Amino acid sequence: MSSLESEAMEAEFDTVAGWTEEAVRTLGPEYAVPAGCRGSGSEGALRWLADRLDLRPGARLLDDGAGVGGPAGWLAAERGVRPVCAEPMAAAVRASRRLFGLPSVVAMAQQLPFADGSFDAAWCLGVLCTTSDKAGSLAELRRVLVPGARLGLLVFVAAGPLPPPLPEGNEFPGETELLDLLGGAGFDLQDSGTADLADSPDEWLERADAVDAEVARRHGEAPEHEQARENAKRVGRLISGKHLRPWLGIAIAR
Protein backbone atom coordinates (compact mmCIF):
# COMPACT_ATOMS: atom_id res chain seq x y z
CA MET A 1 0.00 0.00 0.00
CA SER A 2 1.15 3.54 -0.67
CA SER A 3 1.65 5.76 2.33
CA LEU A 4 1.03 9.45 2.83
CA GLU A 5 3.21 12.01 4.52
CA SER A 6 1.64 11.88 8.01
CA GLU A 7 -0.42 9.60 10.21
CA ALA A 8 -3.11 12.25 10.51
CA MET A 9 -3.53 12.32 6.73
CA GLU A 10 -3.76 8.53 6.56
CA ALA A 11 -6.43 8.65 9.28
CA GLU A 12 -8.38 11.23 7.29
CA PHE A 13 -7.93 9.85 3.79
CA ASP A 14 -7.93 6.10 4.43
CA THR A 15 -9.68 5.18 7.70
CA VAL A 16 -12.30 7.93 7.50
CA ALA A 17 -12.78 7.18 3.79
CA GLY A 18 -13.84 3.63 4.69
CA TRP A 19 -16.14 4.95 7.42
CA THR A 20 -17.64 7.41 4.95
CA GLU A 21 -18.53 4.59 2.58
CA GLU A 22 -20.12 2.68 5.47
CA ALA A 23 -22.21 5.75 6.47
CA VAL A 24 -23.40 6.33 2.88
CA ARG A 25 -24.53 2.72 2.69
CA THR A 26 -26.61 3.28 5.81
CA LEU A 27 -28.11 6.61 4.73
CA GLY A 28 -28.63 6.06 0.99
CA PRO A 29 -26.94 6.65 -2.39
CA GLU A 30 -28.05 10.29 -2.60
CA TYR A 31 -25.56 10.98 0.23
CA ALA A 32 -22.59 9.69 -1.78
CA VAL A 33 -21.55 12.78 -3.76
CA PRO A 34 -21.75 15.34 -0.91
CA ALA A 35 -20.00 12.93 1.44
CA GLY A 36 -17.47 11.92 -1.18
CA CYS A 37 -16.24 15.42 -1.98
CA ARG A 38 -13.55 15.54 0.67
CA GLY A 39 -11.66 18.73 0.20
CA SER A 40 -12.99 19.71 -3.20
CA GLY A 41 -14.99 22.34 -1.44
CA SER A 42 -18.27 22.97 -3.10
CA GLU A 43 -20.51 22.16 -6.00
CA GLY A 44 -19.80 25.63 -7.38
CA ALA A 45 -16.08 24.84 -7.52
CA LEU A 46 -16.73 21.58 -9.37
CA ARG A 47 -19.00 23.39 -11.83
CA TRP A 48 -16.43 26.18 -12.41
CA LEU A 49 -13.82 23.59 -13.30
CA ALA A 50 -16.10 21.28 -15.32
CA ASP A 51 -17.34 24.23 -17.43
CA ARG A 52 -13.75 24.99 -18.44
CA LEU A 53 -12.41 21.49 -19.06
CA ASP A 54 -13.81 21.35 -22.60
CA LEU A 55 -15.20 17.85 -22.03
CA ARG A 56 -16.47 16.19 -25.19
CA PRO A 57 -18.47 12.97 -25.37
CA GLY A 58 -16.12 10.04 -24.89
CA ALA A 59 -13.34 12.24 -23.44
CA ARG A 60 -10.82 10.25 -21.37
CA LEU A 61 -10.63 11.98 -18.01
CA LEU A 62 -8.37 11.32 -15.02
CA ASP A 63 -9.24 12.27 -11.45
CA ASP A 64 -5.80 12.35 -9.79
CA GLY A 65 -5.98 11.95 -5.99
CA ALA A 66 -9.67 11.17 -6.32
CA GLY A 67 -10.36 10.35 -2.67
CA VAL A 68 -13.60 8.40 -2.27
CA GLY A 69 -14.70 9.58 -5.73
CA GLY A 70 -17.28 12.27 -4.96
CA PRO A 71 -16.06 14.80 -7.56
CA ALA A 72 -15.65 12.09 -10.22
CA GLY A 73 -19.11 10.73 -9.36
CA TRP A 74 -20.55 14.24 -9.65
CA LEU A 75 -18.85 14.73 -13.03
CA ALA A 76 -20.14 11.40 -14.33
CA ALA A 77 -23.71 12.26 -13.28
CA GLU A 78 -23.61 15.88 -14.49
CA ARG A 79 -21.49 15.70 -17.65
CA GLY A 80 -21.86 12.13 -18.90
CA VAL A 81 -18.16 11.27 -18.78
CA ARG A 82 -16.64 8.25 -17.03
CA PRO A 83 -13.57 9.44 -15.14
CA VAL A 84 -10.76 7.10 -14.17
CA CYS A 85 -9.82 7.59 -10.50
CA ALA A 86 -6.27 7.30 -9.15
CA GLU A 87 -5.76 7.53 -5.40
CA PRO A 88 -3.13 6.14 -2.99
CA MET A 89 -5.45 5.15 -0.12
CA ALA A 90 -6.94 1.67 -0.64
CA ALA A 91 -10.12 2.26 1.40
CA ALA A 92 -10.87 5.36 -0.67
CA VAL A 93 -10.29 3.46 -3.92
CA ARG A 94 -12.69 0.74 -2.79
CA ALA A 95 -15.26 3.41 -1.90
CA SER A 96 -15.08 5.10 -5.32
CA ARG A 97 -15.56 1.74 -7.02
CA ARG A 98 -18.45 0.68 -4.83
CA LEU A 99 -20.26 4.00 -4.38
CA PHE A 100 -19.90 5.31 -7.93
CA GLY A 101 -18.96 2.27 -10.02
CA LEU A 102 -15.93 4.13 -11.34
CA PRO A 103 -12.70 2.52 -12.57
CA SER A 104 -10.27 3.27 -9.73
CA VAL A 105 -6.66 2.38 -9.11
CA VAL A 106 -4.35 2.64 -6.08
CA ALA A 107 -1.61 5.03 -7.22
CA MET A 108 0.45 7.95 -6.04
CA ALA A 109 0.34 11.05 -8.22
CA GLN A 110 4.14 10.83 -8.62
CA GLN A 111 3.88 7.36 -10.22
CA LEU A 112 0.77 7.03 -12.31
CA PRO A 113 0.23 3.58 -13.84
CA PHE A 114 -0.82 4.92 -17.25
CA ALA A 115 0.92 5.21 -20.61
CA ASP A 116 1.99 8.61 -21.98
CA GLY A 117 -0.90 10.57 -23.51
CA SER A 118 -3.63 8.34 -22.03
CA PHE A 119 -6.03 11.18 -21.12
CA ASP A 120 -7.75 14.11 -22.84
CA ALA A 121 -8.30 15.99 -19.57
CA ALA A 122 -7.63 15.66 -15.84
CA TRP A 123 -8.43 17.28 -12.57
CA CYS A 124 -6.57 17.17 -9.32
CA LEU A 125 -8.50 18.62 -6.39
CA GLY A 126 -7.03 19.39 -3.00
CA VAL A 127 -4.08 17.08 -3.66
CA LEU A 128 -1.03 19.22 -4.46
CA CYS A 129 -1.27 20.78 -1.00
CA THR A 130 -1.02 17.32 0.61
CA THR A 131 2.22 16.25 -1.06
CA SER A 132 5.77 17.62 -0.92
CA ASP A 133 6.58 16.28 -4.41
CA LYS A 134 4.47 18.76 -6.33
CA ALA A 135 6.88 18.93 -9.26
CA GLY A 136 6.89 15.11 -9.59
CA SER A 137 3.09 14.98 -9.43
CA LEU A 138 2.66 17.70 -12.07
CA ALA A 139 5.27 16.07 -14.33
CA GLU A 140 3.30 12.81 -14.18
CA LEU A 141 0.07 14.62 -14.97
CA ARG A 142 1.71 16.26 -17.98
CA ARG A 143 3.07 12.88 -19.13
CA VAL A 144 -0.30 11.12 -19.10
CA LEU A 145 -2.13 13.98 -20.88
CA VAL A 146 -2.15 14.61 -24.62
CA PRO A 147 -0.79 17.99 -25.83
CA GLY A 148 -3.55 20.59 -25.63
CA ALA A 149 -5.36 18.73 -22.82
CA ARG A 150 -6.82 20.74 -19.97
CA LEU A 151 -5.95 20.27 -16.32
CA GLY A 152 -8.32 21.53 -13.61
CA LEU A 153 -6.82 22.29 -10.22
CA LEU A 154 -8.04 23.16 -6.75
CA VAL A 155 -5.09 24.08 -4.55
CA PHE A 156 -5.17 25.70 -1.13
CA VAL A 157 -2.50 28.38 -1.54
CA ALA A 158 -0.82 30.14 1.37
CA ALA A 159 -1.08 33.93 1.48
CA GLY A 160 2.13 34.05 3.58
CA PRO A 161 3.64 32.31 6.61
CA LEU A 162 0.86 30.31 8.29
CA PRO A 163 0.04 30.77 11.99
CA PRO A 164 0.07 27.56 14.08
CA PRO A 165 -1.38 25.12 14.93
CA LEU A 166 -0.83 23.76 11.44
CA PRO A 167 -2.56 20.69 9.99
CA GLU A 168 -0.23 17.71 9.97
CA GLY A 169 1.30 16.64 6.68
CA ASN A 170 0.04 19.45 4.48
CA GLU A 171 2.45 21.57 2.43
CA PHE A 172 0.59 24.55 1.08
CA PRO A 173 2.37 26.34 -1.79
CA GLY A 174 2.28 30.07 -2.37
CA GLU A 175 0.55 31.16 -5.59
CA THR A 176 3.80 32.24 -7.28
CA GLU A 177 5.43 28.91 -6.41
CA LEU A 178 2.42 27.06 -7.81
CA LEU A 179 2.50 29.00 -11.09
CA ASP A 180 6.25 28.36 -11.43
CA LEU A 181 5.69 24.64 -10.82
CA LEU A 182 2.95 24.51 -13.44
CA GLY A 183 5.11 26.28 -16.03
CA GLY A 184 8.09 24.05 -15.19
CA ALA A 185 6.01 20.91 -15.69
CA GLY A 186 4.89 21.99 -19.17
CA PHE A 187 1.53 23.66 -18.51
CA ASP A 188 0.27 27.14 -19.49
CA LEU A 189 -2.24 28.69 -17.12
CA GLN A 190 -5.41 29.61 -18.98
CA ASP A 191 -7.81 30.72 -16.26
CA SER A 192 -7.86 31.06 -12.50
CA GLY A 193 -10.24 32.04 -9.73
CA THR A 194 -11.12 31.56 -6.10
CA ALA A 195 -13.63 28.94 -4.98
CA ASP A 196 -16.53 30.00 -2.81
CA LEU A 197 -16.58 27.07 -0.43
CA ALA A 198 -20.04 28.00 0.83
CA ASP A 199 -21.89 27.87 -2.47
CA SER A 200 -23.24 24.30 -2.37
CA PRO A 201 -27.03 23.87 -2.20
CA ASP A 202 -28.49 23.49 1.34
CA GLU A 203 -29.44 19.90 0.60
CA TRP A 204 -25.80 19.09 -0.28
CA LEU A 205 -24.57 20.59 3.02
CA GLU A 206 -27.29 18.80 5.02
CA ARG A 207 -26.34 15.48 3.48
CA ALA A 208 -22.61 16.00 4.09
CA ASP A 209 -23.43 16.87 7.73
CA ALA A 210 -25.66 13.80 8.08
CA VAL A 211 -22.81 11.57 6.90
CA ASP A 212 -20.37 13.24 9.31
CA ALA A 213 -22.88 12.67 12.14
CA GLU A 214 -23.30 9.00 11.21
CA VAL A 215 -19.51 8.52 11.10
CA ALA A 216 -19.21 10.22 14.52
CA ARG A 217 -22.01 8.07 15.94
CA ARG A 218 -20.22 4.90 14.89
CA HIS A 219 -16.58 5.87 15.34
CA GLY A 220 -16.50 9.08 17.39
CA GLU A 221 -14.44 7.38 20.11
CA ALA A 222 -11.70 6.18 17.75
CA PRO A 223 -8.37 8.07 17.86
CA GLU A 224 -8.35 8.34 14.06
CA HIS A 225 -11.68 10.19 14.23
CA GLU A 226 -10.28 12.79 16.61
CA GLN A 227 -7.06 13.08 14.56
CA ALA A 228 -8.92 13.64 11.29
CA ARG A 229 -11.36 16.06 12.94
CA GLU A 230 -8.54 18.11 14.44
CA ASN A 231 -6.66 18.25 11.12
CA ALA A 232 -9.80 19.34 9.24
CA LYS A 233 -10.49 21.96 11.93
CA ARG A 234 -7.00 23.42 11.53
CA VAL A 235 -7.42 23.70 7.76
CA GLY A 236 -10.84 25.32 8.25
CA ARG A 237 -9.36 27.89 10.65
CA LEU A 238 -6.65 28.84 8.14
CA ILE A 239 -9.23 29.22 5.37
CA SER A 240 -11.63 31.31 7.43
CA GLY A 241 -8.72 33.49 8.58
CA LYS A 242 -7.80 34.01 4.89
CA HIS A 243 -4.34 32.53 5.43
CA LEU A 244 -5.26 29.91 2.83
CA ARG A 245 -7.12 30.61 -0.40
CA PRO A 246 -8.97 27.90 -2.36
CA TRP A 247 -7.35 28.63 -5.71
CA LEU A 248 -8.98 27.24 -8.86
CA GLY A 249 -7.09 26.98 -12.11
CA ILE A 250 -7.25 25.61 -15.62
CA ALA A 251 -3.94 24.89 -17.31
CA ILE A 252 -3.22 23.59 -20.80
CA ALA A 253 -0.64 20.91 -21.50
CA ARG A 254 1.97 22.24 -23.96
**CA–CA separation, 213 and 179 (whole Å):** 38
Strand, helix or coil for residue 115:
coil
Backbone φ and ψ for 107, nearest 5 degrees, come out as -160, 145
Q: Is 18 in the site for ligand SAM (CB under 6 A)?
A: no
- Interface positions, 137-196, toward ligand SAM (CB under 6 A): none
Closest distance between ligand SAM and the C-beta of residue 207, in Å?
Answer: 15
Closest distance between ligand SAM and the C-beta of residue 96, in Å?
Answer: 9
Give the nearest residue (CB) to ligand SAM: 39
**CA–CA separation, 63 and 72 (whole Å):** 7
Q: Which is nearer to ligand SAM, 130 or 200 (CB)?
A: 130
- Interface positions, 93-132, toward ligand SAM (CB under 6 A): 108-110, 125-127, 130-131
Of 15, 18, 34, 39, the one binding ligand SAM (CB under 6 A) is 39
- The site for ligand SAM, by CB under 6 A, has a size of 23
The region of 38-46, 170-178, 188-196, 244-252 touching ligand SAM under the rule CB under 6 A is 38-46
- Interface positions, 60-79, toward ligand SAM (CB under 6 A): 65-67, 70-71
Number of other CB atoms surrounding residue 238 within 10 Å? 22
Closest distance between ligand SAM and the C-beta of residue 5, in Å?
Answer: 7
Q: Is 92 in the site for ligand SAM (CB under 6 A)?
A: yes
126: Cα within 13 Å, side-chain hemisphere: 22
- Sign of the dihedral defined by the CA atoms of residues 125, 131, 135, 140, in that order: negative
Backbone φ and ψ for 218, nearest 5 degrees, come out as -85, -35
The DSSP letter of residue 197 is T
Burial class (CB in 10 A: 0-12, 13-18, 19+), 34: buried
Q: Which is nearer to ligand SAM, 37 or 84 (CB)?
A: 37
- Interface positions, 210-249, toward ligand SAM (CB under 6 A): none
Of 4, 50, 84, 122, the one binding ligand SAM (CB under 6 A) is 4
Backbone φ and ψ for 108, nearest 5 degrees, come out as -80, 150
Of 8, 23, 32, 37, the one binding ligand SAM (CB under 6 A) is 37
Give how far Cα 81 sits from Cα of 52, 59, 77, 92, 212, Å. Answer: 14, 7, 8, 20, 28
Closest distance between ligand SAM and the C-beta of residue 30, in Å?
Answer: 17
Closest distance between ligand SAM and the C-beta of residue 63, in Å?
Answer: 7
Query: E strand or H helix at 84, and its extent?
Result: strand 84-87
Binding site for ligand SAM (CB under 6 A): 4, 13, 37-40, 65-67, 70-71, 87-89, 92, 108-110, 125-127, 130-131
